[in-house]
């Protein structure tokens, strides 16, 4: 009989430890899924994969709603790392750093250069894959190469990425056809930024101030961190002047509008002389900030219009 009561006592204590006691001592949400062997950020590739896996683990343990809610919070961001989640209809449901993307179809999202960035991410499988593209890193205040790891689990896509320095030899950049003037303009400006990273500001300014480097209707305008022109091959008198003080042909503050460009880039349309035709035509200029500097170029249309081009 004594052994029987002792057995009951042991069973009761075991049951208590599996119910009430365990609930009271349960770890916080993210601590319960974080491994002590998580790679360090100085191994960014391994850290990114583990960071995404922690999101999948949270989804497994806490469910869809908890995972989506958590990764929409700024608290889920760790330095340059944040997790985005895309549902089984390819709609963005979590993005703590760009909430404006919530509800958008990932396939409709393009890179700065107009490439099908979102389409590549949408092709993620259960094996996962890396998607590389040029993007603006707000911490560095410049364009950099972003490597994103995306993997599908339970129909959902989980992803995150990290930045690397970007400054390739301009001669190695892919060629874009002038038949697509929007993308050619963006590529032309990106080539200038690559030259800046590859050769430095003085060599870049000298290169684009040389009229020999005007490509038909395309040329580069460039200012320093204080919006002072350092390059303009058609108007050398602009060098040393503040772009914000340069008006359009009709007196409108065209320069000030161009100076509003950010790291995401900006399109602006106005009338300006076309160096190729010699005529006053409608110019569509794309300008972007990189490392504080302003880089821009544009293409012309003989028909005046106010529509801003879209990259599809």
Q: What is the CATH number of the domain that holds 73?
A: 3.30.450.20
Per-residue pLDDT at 231: 98
Inside any domain, residue 243: yes
Mean pLDDT per 10-residue section of the chain, whose length is 312 residues: 35 34 37 60 96 97 97 96 97 96 96 90 97 94 96 98 94 93 96 96 98 96 98 97 96 96 95 93 97 97 56 42
Q: Alpha helices, DSSP H only, in 19-116?
A: 20-24, 44-62, 64-70
Give the integer Cα–Cα distance in Å for 199 and 203: 6
**Among 212, 220, 165, which Cα is nearest to 190's?**
220
Are 143 and 180 found together in one domain? no
Are 30 and 157 found together in one domain? yes
Are 155 and 245 found together in one domain? no
Are 187 and 116 found together in one domain? no
Neighbours of 58 (CB within 10 A): 23
Per-residue pLDDT at 115: 84
Residue that terminates a domain, selected from 164, 181, 202: 164
Are 67 and 120 found together in one domain? yes
Per-residue pLDDT at 114: 82
Inside any domain, residue 193: yes
CA angle 183, 185, 187 (to 5 degrees): 70
Per-residue pLDDT at 113: 82
Model confidence, pTM: 0.81
**Among 284, 227, 235, which Cα is nearest to 260's?**
227
Per-residue pLDDT at 303: 61
Are 207 and 266 found together in one domain? yes
* Secondary structure of residue 163 in the 3-state scheme: strand
> What is residue 287's DSSP assignment?
E
Are 134 and 228 found together in one domain? no
Give the integer Cα–Cα distance in Å for 193 and 289: 10
Task: List, as one string, the DSSP characters of 136-152.
Answer: EETTTTEEEEEEEEEEE
Q: Into how many domains does the chain fold?
A: 2
Structure-token pair, residue 58:
């949270």
- Tell me how far CA of residue 195 lies from CA of 7, 145, 189, 206, in angstroms: 79, 15, 10, 11
Conformational region of residue 193, where left means phi above 0, alpha means psi within -120 to 50, and beta covers everything else: alpha
293 lies in which domain range? 170-301
Helical axes 181-199 vs 201-209, angle rounded to 10°:
140
Per-residue pLDDT at 35: 47
Give the integer Cα–Cα distance in Å for 145 and 67: 28
CA angle 289, 197, 299 (to 5 degrees): 50
Residue that terminates a domain, selected from 164, 181, 198: 164
Inside any domain, residue 237: yes
Inside any domain, residue 17: no
Inside any domain, residue 14: no
Inside any domain, residue 285: yes
Residue that terminates a domain, selected from 164, 189, 208: 164
Inside any domain, residue 311: no
Are 245 and 126 found together in one domain? no
Inside any domain, residue 270: yes
Are 190 and 278 found together in one domain? yes
């Amino acid at each position: 009989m004594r052994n029987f009561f002792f057995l009951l006592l042991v069973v009761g204590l075991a049951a208590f430890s599996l119910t009430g006691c365990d609930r009271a001592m349960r770890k916080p949400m993210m601590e319960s899924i974080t491994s002590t062997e998580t790679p360090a950020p100085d191994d960014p590739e391994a850290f990114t994969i583990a960071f995404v896996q922690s999101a999948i683990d949270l989804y497994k343990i806490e469910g869809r709603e908890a995972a989506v809610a958590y990764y929409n919070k700024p608290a889920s961001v760790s330095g340059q790392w944040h997790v985005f989640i895309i549902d089984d209809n390819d709609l963005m449901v979590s993005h703590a750093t760009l909430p404006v993307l919530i509800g958008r179809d990932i396939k409709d999202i393009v890179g700065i250069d107009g490439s099908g960035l979102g389409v590549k991410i949408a092709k993620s499988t259960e094996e996962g894959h890396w998607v590389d593209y040029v993007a603006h890193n707000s911490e560095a205040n410049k364009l950099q190469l972003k490597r994103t790891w995306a993997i599908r689990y339970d129909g959902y896509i989980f992803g995150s990425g990290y930045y690397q320095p970007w400054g390739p030899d301009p001669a190695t950049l892919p060629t874009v056809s002038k038949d697509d003037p929007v993308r050619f303009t963006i590529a032309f400006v990106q080539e200038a930024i690559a030259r800046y990273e590859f050769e430095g500001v003085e060599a870049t300014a000298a290169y684009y101030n040389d009229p020999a480097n005007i490509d038909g209707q395309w040329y580069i305008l460039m200012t320093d961190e204080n919006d002072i022109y350092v390059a303009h091959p058609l108007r050398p008198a602009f060098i040393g002047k503040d772009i914000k003080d340069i008006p359009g042909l009709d007196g409108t503050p065209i320069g000030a509008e161009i100076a509003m460009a950010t790291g995401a880039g900006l399109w602006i349309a106005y009338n300006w002389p076309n160096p190729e035709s010699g005529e006053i035509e409608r110019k569509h200029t794309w300008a972007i900030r990189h490392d504080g500097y302003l880089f821009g170029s544009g293409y012309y249309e003989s028909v005046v219009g106010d529509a801003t081009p879209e990259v599809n």
